[in-house]
Amino acid sequence: ETGVTQSPTHLIKTRGQQVTLRCSSQSGHNTVSWYQQALGQGPQFIFQYYREEENGRGNFPPRFSGLQFPNYSSELNVNALELDDSALYLCASSLAEQRGFSGNTIYFGEGSWLTVV
C-alpha cells in the first residue's frame, strides 16, 4: 500500500459532460502528478502540482485542468468529455525536496477508471 488514495475507482460519463477525479497524496508529500493510461498504452504525463501551483504539463488540451489544496490533495478536472478520454487516470505523489531522484520516492494510487459513452 502506497498511502495514495484516489476516488472514485470507476465511473461512467456521457460525451460532453465534465468529470472531477480526486487524489489524496502520501503523508508528507507536497507534489502530485496526474497520468492518463489508455488501454494498451503506458501512462502519459498530464501535469504536476507543487505547493498548489502547476509545475509542468504534458501534451494535453486546456480542458484538462487541476487543483492542489493546502493539504496537498489534488483534483483533476476534465471538461467537454470525449470518447478518447476513456482511460485509467493515475495520481502519483512525491516529495520535491527529497535529495536526489531515485524513482522509489514516487508513489502511485490505484487509479480511477473513466468510461465515456
Instruction: Considering the complex, state which of residue 20 and residue 105 has its C-beta at the smaller distance from other proteins.
Output: 105
Task: Return the bridge partners of 19, or none.
Answer: 78
Among 43, 66, 72, 85, indicate the residue that binds other proteins (CB under 8 A): 43
CA distance 44 to 88: 10
Any contact of residue 87 with other proteins (CB under 8 A)? Answer: no
Estimate to the nearest angstrom the gap between the alpha carbon of 101 and the chain centroid.
Answer: 20
Among 33, 74, 85, 114, indicate the residue that binds other proteins (CB under 8 A): 33
Instruction: Considering the complex, state which of residue 16 and residue 28 has its C-beta at the smaller distance from other proteins.
Output: 28
- In degrees and rounded to multiples of 5, residue 109 shows phi and psi of -80, 180
